[in-house]
Amino acid sequence: MSKRTIVSMPGDGIGNAVLPEAIRVLEAAGFEADYVHADIGWEFWCTEGNPLPQRTIDLLEEHKIGLFGAITSKPKSDADAELAPELRDQGLVYYSPIVALRQHFTLDVCARPCQTFKGNPLNFIRRSADGGVEEPEVDTVIFRQNTEGLYGGVEWTNPPDNVYDSLMSHPKFSMNFGDVPREELSVSTRIFTRQATERILRAAFEYAKKFGYKSVTVCEKPNVIRETSGMMLALGKEIAAEYPGIALWDTNIDAQMMWLTKNPEDYGVIVAGNMFGDIISDGFAGLVGGLGFACSANVGEEIAVFEPTHGSAPKYADYENSIVNPIAMVLSACMMLDHISEIETAAKMRKAVAEVVEEGKVRTYDMMKMRGKPDVVEQGAASTTQMADAIIAKLS
């Protein structure tokens, strides 16, 4: 088979520190690929007025698989002030290039695995019935619909006539909001389509089947949000019938957040709409090490982009010797390998990460619960490169 080409998009800030380290780990694990660099992020907003240049879209279109680091988004006033003088007054508006990528390529399936690594000092612990302490082993993968729902961007303040008139035709609106001056109304919609809802549910069940999970939990709020959450649960029941070995559970988002710390080890695959999926995946990530460990996949019908959940952490971006944890990026690279059926190489890399964490000799500052400062390495924390070296050493 010919070598794969991976589009490498380090982006801004610490994306430039963690992505090259993940590529080093991939190479050491024996994954053969060419990496082609693609521009994305703040620099291209400032110099070209576009944080997601067309040439980057073209590269993804051609090669289909991307590894992404992180981008920096700043408030509107900074975006305007930092734009190159010759580009000002052209009506250019900054937008988040990663959100734009997800929308452009309809990367509608987002997967976020949250798995406990033994020996990680950041693991969640809880009190047991006899007063002792227990460390539940979490192995949950959250499937979040990535393009619709409350983050779909269909919203108004002071809605125009046609929108306002349609809203007024709903009895609950006219009864509860009919007296409110229109300019005091803000409306954000929650739109679910059957097609995208089916796709996220099916992706969750397929993943559960492929990796041997025993349950898929639909986590929504169908008792209150009857139309959208209701559709997801109803479709979940239909699709579950095609997967006889896998139990369908359903929970409400609020109760799920309470159970998060009570019995997180009980959940396998969880599937939810955009905002609830965002919330639950951050919640579960907090049980297994937080941003230094949280990886994700954005998968469309043809194109997929893999990225750590964290952002560009600007305060650590300019360190000569980077201190941030590359594990989230390395685990995102493992998800990429799973996606292209390099499952054994992915497993080998995860095992290497697990061994480094369990051994506990090499830990980045976050794992040592230190405040991030340039001198953490002198105080015994591993640098980004040292952590990657330790993972690579376990591969051989």
Residues forming contacts to ligand NAI in the complex (CB under 6 A) are 70-73, 98, 291-292, 310-315, 324-325, 328, 366, 372
* Closer CB to ligand NAI, 310 or 348, in the complex: 310
Stretch that binds Mg ion, among 195-203, 221-229, 273-281, 355-363 (CB under 5 A): 273-281
* Backbone dihedral angles phi then psi of residue 124, each to the nearest 5 degrees: -70, 135
Q: Rg of the chain over CA atoms, in angstroms?
A: 22
Beta bridge partners of 299: 109, 304
Closest of 19, 23, 11, 6 to residue 324, by C-alpha = 19
Other CB atoms within 10 A of residue 220 CB: 26
Minimum CB separation of residue 135 from Mg ion in Å reads 25
Contacts of residue 58, Cβ cutoff 8 Å, sequence gap at least 6: none
- Residue, CB closest to ligand NAI: 311
Do residues 309 and 296 touch, judged by C-beta distance below 8 A?
yes
Minimum CB separation of residue 14 from Mg ion in Å reads 17
DSSP string, 289-304: TGGGT-EEEEE-SS-E
Minimum CB separation of residue 208 from ligand NAI in Å reads 26
* Closer CB to ligand NAI, 342 or 366, in the complex: 366
Q: Which residues of 336-367 are buried (b: 16+ CB within 10 A; e: fewer)?
A: bbbbbebeebbebbbebbbbbbeeeebbbbbb
Residue 291 interacts, among Mg ion, ligand NAI, none and using kind-specific CB cut-offs from 5 to 8 Å, with: ligand NAI
- The sign of the CA dihedral 198, 277, 74, 324 is negative
* Closer CB to ligand NAI, 66 or 268, in the complex: 66
Residue 366 interacts, among Mg ion, ligand NAI, none and using kind-specific CB cut-offs from 5 to 8 Å, with: ligand NAI
Minimum CB separation of residue 279 from Mg ion in Å reads 8
* Closer CB to Mg ion, 21 or 278, in the complex: 278
Tell me the C-alpha distance between 327 and 388, whole Å: 8
Minimum CB separation of residue 146 from ligand NAI in Å reads 12
Angle CA 312–288–23, to nearest 5? 45
* Backbone dihedral angles phi then psi of residue 81, each to the nearest 5 degrees: -70, -35
* Closer CB to Mg ion, 278 or 366, in the complex: 278
Residue 287 interacts, among ligand NAI, Mg ion, none and using kind-specific CB cut-offs from 5 to 8 Å, with: none
* Closer CB to Mg ion, 278 or 338, in the complex: 278
Residue 73 interacts, among Mg ion, ligand NAI, none and using kind-specific CB cut-offs from 5 to 8 Å, with: ligand NAI
Contacts of residue 360, Cβ cutoff 8 Å, sequence gap at least 6: 119, 121
* Closer CB to ligand NAI, 28 or 70, in the complex: 70
Using CB under 5 A as the binding criterion, the count of chain residues that bind Mg ion stands at 1
Minimum CB separation of residue 25 from ligand NAI in Å reads 14
Other CB atoms within 10 A of residue 240 CB: 18
* Closer CB to Mg ion, 220 or 278, in the complex: 278
* Closer CB to ligand NAI, 240 or 328, in the complex: 328
Stretch that binds Mg ion, among 39-47, 96-104, 276-284, 373-381 (CB under 5 A): 276-284
Do residues 183 and 158 touch, judged by C-beta distance below 8 A?
yes
Residue 372 interacts, among Mg ion, ligand NAI, none and using kind-specific CB cut-offs from 5 to 8 Å, with: ligand NAI
Residue 324 interacts, among ligand NAI, Mg ion, none and using kind-specific CB cut-offs from 5 to 8 Å, with: ligand NAI
Minimum CB separation of residue 364 from ligand NAI in Å reads 6
Minimum CB separation of residue 285 from Mg ion in Å reads 9
The full length of the chain comes to: 396
C-alpha pair distances (Å), 369 with each of 23, 281, 323, 381, 387:
27, 22, 13, 10, 16
Minimum CB separation of residue 369 from ligand NAI in Å reads 11
Residue 310 interacts, among Mg ion, ligand NAI, none and using kind-specific CB cut-offs from 5 to 8 Å, with: ligand NAI
Beta bridge partners of 141: 113, 269
- Residue, CB closest to Mg ion: 278
Residue 143, helix vs strand vs coil: strand
- The sign of the CA dihedral 308, 340, 210, 351 is negative
- State the residues that interact with Mg ion by CB under 5 A: 278
